[in-house]
Amino acid sequence: MNGSTGILRPTRIKLDAGNDSLAITWSDGHSSVYAYSTLRSQCPCATCLGTEGERAAPAAPASLPMFKTALRPVRVEVVGRYALQIFWNDGHSTGIYTFTYLRNLCPCAECAPA
């Protein structure tokens, strides 16, 4: 056999797939739809994870509701052969989402833990 690694890869990635979400079609045919809010809250970068091992708490709500544009990716890039890097509209881009991590994040009924 050849030494290909057989990890699941996306074959198609669609930004703005409706309702502020990103859609991925996988090499096994499965499709996943991720809400932008989920993707951002699950950002795997060291800053978001918190170097002390805890996910950084979201900023406290302001006393007056301020207008904030919704967070969404500006673009995504493939990292080597194993991951996606998401560039957000607030400038955040350090999260490297491995394909395996993304697949485990799939929120569909089939993938969700029972």
Partner 1 sequence: MSERLHPQDVMKALASVKAAGEMKDIVSLGWVKDVEVEEGAVTVTLALPNSSDPASAVVADSVRREVARLNAGEVRVRLVARHGASSGASSNLIPQVKNTVAVASGKGGVGKSTVAVNLAVALRRAGARVGLMDTDVYGPSVPALIGSRSAPTVVDGKLEPSVEHGIKLISIAYFLPQDEAVIWRGPMLHKTIRQFLEDVRWGELDYLVMDLPPGTGDIQLSLSQTIPLTGAVIVSTPQDVALGVASKAIAMFQKLGVPILGVVENMSGYVCPHCGAREDIFGHGGARAAAARMHFPFLGEIPLAIDIRKQSDRGQPVAEDESTPYGKAFRDVAVELTKQVELARRSASQEIAIE
Which residue type sits at 106?
Answer: C
Nearer to partner 1, 10 or 95 (CB): 10
* Cα distance between residue 57 and residue 62, in whole Å: 14
- Residues paired with 79 in a beta bridge: 83
Is 99 one of the binding residues for partner 1 (CB under 8 A)? yes
With binding defined as CB under 8 A, does residue 79 bind partner 1?
A: yes
The closest alpha carbon to 9, from 25, 21, 32, belongs to 25
Measured distance between the N- and C-terminal CA atoms of the chain, rounded to whole angstroms:
35
x/- mask, partner 1, residues 20-59, rule CB under 8 A, reads -------x--------------------------------
Which residues contact partner 1 (rule: CB under 8 A)? Answer: 1-5, 7, 9-15, 27, 74-83, 96, 99
